[in-house]
Structure 1
Amino acid sequence: MNTFFEFTYRNQQYISFSPSRDDDVLAYRYVPGDIQKLLLKVNGDFAHFRQLLIDSAAEQHLPATTAHERLLLPPLMPPQRSNAVVSGFGLTNKKKVQSTGGTPNPVPSWFYKGPGHVLKTDGQTLNIEHGTTAICEEAEIVLVYLIDTQGDPRYIGFTVGNDITDIGAIKATPSAFAYAKLKECSVSERLFLSPPPWVLTGTCNVYRNEQQVFSSAFETGIDQLHYKQEQLIDTLFRSPALRQPGLVHYIYIGADRNSYDHGHTLTDGDTVSLHFRELNLGLTNPLALQGS
């Protein structure tokens, strides 16, 4: 599968094409920002990208005993996190659109989550500020785009993520939608250089004091969207402000039902664990709710 992940190890950044992140890995040290340039150069040719990367860096074998020293990074995070835009689209899943019983919005609802500082990876704690009403997890596909030197958005690949939302605030006041999305969120460290999955299924488990307190299945993917992918992207990138060269976009494209929809309430100290079946990929994050 055309995939890689990035991490820091002893104050240096590395990329690896190894299938497992926790076992022995072959890794290549790189200068932050170089990977983005190479990916734009190869225009989606994964084999070419991999060869260029291997040719430009010395191969280093890191044994499994070093796994605890490796800090996972969001894929393609720019050296300056302010050059990353984390956003998404709400009410895009067919099930959610149908559940409203009304006329679907002709234009998809876009939301901003923040710069790259809000994006965490697997195992990291998601900190939720004081004043939230009731938060929920949302298992989603996340599209990754780079803005090239001409100001054109270039699709690079996809990963998966957990979009934390103050769903309680939205239910109480629909106009609070944009504010309710301004929360830390997470993505897998793995980037897949291929089109996003047509269908992706999985499970969400919530643990409290090391005991499972909630479990449900979810389904996501391009086939689950009420809108076409092209419509989402074309609508978003009409804005020149979002097409500044060098920006990296992480775009959450919509979720199935979440734990709140099933009547479950997340609390401080809970751990949300998502498993994306077809990718055999997990994403786990503890929650820290300030003021709880």
Structure 2
Amino acid sequence: MLLVQFIDEAGSRCVGVLEQMTLHVLDTYTTTYDLARAAIQQKISLAELADKSRGQRKHAYQDLAAAGRLLAPLDHADAAHCYVTGTGLTHLGSADTRDAMHKKIGGDVDTLSDSMKMFRMGVEGGKPAQGQRGVQPEWFYKGDGSVVCASEQPLRMPDFALDGGEEPEIAGLYVIGDDGHAYRVGFAIGNEFSDHITERQNYLYLAHSKLRMCGVGPALLVGDLPAHVSGTSRIYDQQGQLRWEKAFVSGEQNMSHTIANLEYHHFKYALFNRPGDVHIHFFGTATLSFADSISVQAGETFEVESATFGPALRNRLDLVASHYTEVKAL
């Protein structure tokens, strides 16, 4: 099941089940957040509750996308109660990439860079037996709900950034129940988006490079994530011509960590189990245009597409002026 949030012609929020590019609107629930909270309270699956709530109204997905009325697949009314985070060095990549990576991390561990040591730790201990704890991954914070862009919305890059490049990833979407437990609402395709030049200057700048916007959606995949997910990442120039294209893979078959292990090492912190909060957590990637020496320019468009998640995520890159206000002592 794929769920999409959007704004209808009257300006009201809606949730629809997407089937063959037609959205079947839910009658009772106007947000996926409310739907998830109700499913938790009623102790039934999200898919079952969504099916029970289907009404007669329908919308053509393409009309909503063209009108710019799509919303992120999960959000919170107060953006400060939505955490956007992620984990890196989690993906093995293609067969060629895997072979090259295993050669890099082989031999004496003391000769490896810190990043390669972290990757090796994941390969060796990121997929523990059920019920056991595996090695913890690299972890980063991106921001709160205000940094999340829906499909067809501009992805804004501050003018102090040295680079703005896509990272095609899968994100897990979660709601924390009143019992303090994390409930996975589903998964969505995403563009995690980072400043790779800043990160390349020194890996300790990773935290700075991640404090950027991101694209998520448009659809929320309800249920389990397939073990193998394939997709394509593209960049279109200002005239709409294809500039760069590359396939990517994800899912546990292509990862050095299990989803359960990544979830454990995020939600083990009490801070992230506050009732009512929303979490959007990116699981990492092995494919990005920056690795092919592509510098994306303002006005160009990112597209991340995977058949698993329905319609593509599309965001134009915009450059915006940063507004720093000098700190004043009281």
Structure number, greater radius of gyration: 2
**1:48-127 superposed matches below 5 A:** 48-54=48-54, 59-62=56-59, 67=64, 68-69=66-67, 71-95=69-93, 98=101, 101=105, 102=112, 103-104=117-118, 105=121, 106-127=135-156
Residue 205 to residue 61, structure 1, CA distance change in 2 (3 Å): closer
Aligned-pair CA distance for 1:290 = 3.2
Residue 53 to residue 123, structure 1, CA distance change in 2 (3 Å): same
Gaps spanning 5+ residues in structure 1: where?
A: none
Aligned-pair CA distance for 1:29 = 6.2
Q: Percent identity?
A: 22
Q: Would you say the 8 A contact 1:145–1:157 is kept in 2? A: yes
**1:1-292 superposed matches below 5 A:** 2-9=1-8, 10-21=10-21, 23=22, 25-28=24-27, 30-32=29-31, 33-43=33-43, 45-54=45-54, 59-62=56-59, 67=64, 68-69=66-67, 71-95=69-93, 98=101, 101=105, 102=112, 103-104=117-118, 105=121, 106-209=135-238, 210-290=240-320
Q: Equivalents in 1 of 2:236, 2:175: separation in Å?
A: 36
Aligned-pair CA distance for 1:189 = 2.3
Aligned-pair CA distance for 1:62 = 4.3
The DSSP-based 3-state class of the residue aligned with 1:205 is strand
Normalised by the length of structure 1, the TM-score is 0.88
Normalised by the length of structure 2, the TM-score is 0.79
Greater Cα shift, 268-277 or 250-259: 268-277
**AA aligned opposite 1:199:** H
**AA aligned opposite 1:86:** V
Residue 232 to residue 211, structure 1, CA distance change in 2 (3 Å): same
**AA aligned opposite 1:115:** D
CA offsets, 1:250-278, max 9 Å, x none? 11001122001112111111111122144
**AA aligned opposite 1:257:** T
Q: Equivalents in 2 of 1:38, 1:44: separation in Å?
A: 9
Q: Would you say the 8 A contact 2:37–2:175 is kept in 1? A: no
Larger strand proportion of the pair:
1
Q: How many residues are aligned here?
A: 287
Q: Equivalents in 2 of 1:89, 1:142: separation in Å?
A: 10
**AA aligned opposite 1:117:** S
Q: Would you say the 8 A contact 2:219–2:310 is kept in 1? A: no
The DSSP-based 3-state class of the residue aligned with 1:285 is strand
Gaps spanning 5+ residues in structure 2: where?
A: 106-111, 122-134, 322-330
Q: Equivalents in 2 of 1:76, 1:199: separation in Å?
A: 23
